[in-house]
Every structure is written in C-alpha cells, then in structure tokens.
C-alpha cells in the first residue's frame, strides 16, 4: 500500500471512528501548517500520514475506553 492509499484508508478509518470530514481536513491542515496540499509532495504526505495515524490511535483508545 503506497502512502496516498494509506492516507485514504486512514481518512475512512477516522470517519468510522466518528470524526467528521471537516475535522479530518483540519487535522490535515494542522499537519501541513498551511492550507494547500500538494498531493505529489512526499514530505507533506508523510506529515499528514503521521498526524492521521496519531488521531487514529487516539480514536481507538477512546473507543476502547468508553465502549464498555
């Protein structure tokens, strides 16, 4: 799975965990520190991937904690 496929999968996973699209877009903007995303920029994609993975871990932890 390449990096863009992984970003798409994480986007969908975060939607499943209850994040709204605008929240995920804000996570991406936060990762970039700017509003424009150059999809061919490996460095930007890596930053986005790291942030989305962080929020996936947080969402999973929340789900495990409060689903009992």
Q: Mean of the per-residue pLDDT values for the chain? A: 90
The whole-number pLDDT of residue 58 equals 95
Q: And the tokens for 62?
A: 């929340």
Write the pLDDT tens digit of every residue in 32-55: 887 677 777 788 899 999 999 999
Nearest CA-CA partner of 18 in 54, 62, 50, 53? 62
23-50 burial, b for 16+ CB within 10 Å, e for fewer?
ebeebbeebbeeeebeeeeeebbebbbe
- pLDDT at res. 35: 62
6-29: average pLDDT? 94
Rg value, the chain, Cα:
12
For residues 13-17, give the mean pLDDT: 95
């Amino acid at each position: 799975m390449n990096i863009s496929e992984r970003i798409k999968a994480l986007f969908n996973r975060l939607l499943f965990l209850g994040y709204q699209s605008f929240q995920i877009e804000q996570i991406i903007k936060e990762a970039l520190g700017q509003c424009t995303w150059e999809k061919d920029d490996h460095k930007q994609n890596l930053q986005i991937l790291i942030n989305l993975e962080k929020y996936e871990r947080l969402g999973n932890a929340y789900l495990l904690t409060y689903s009992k």
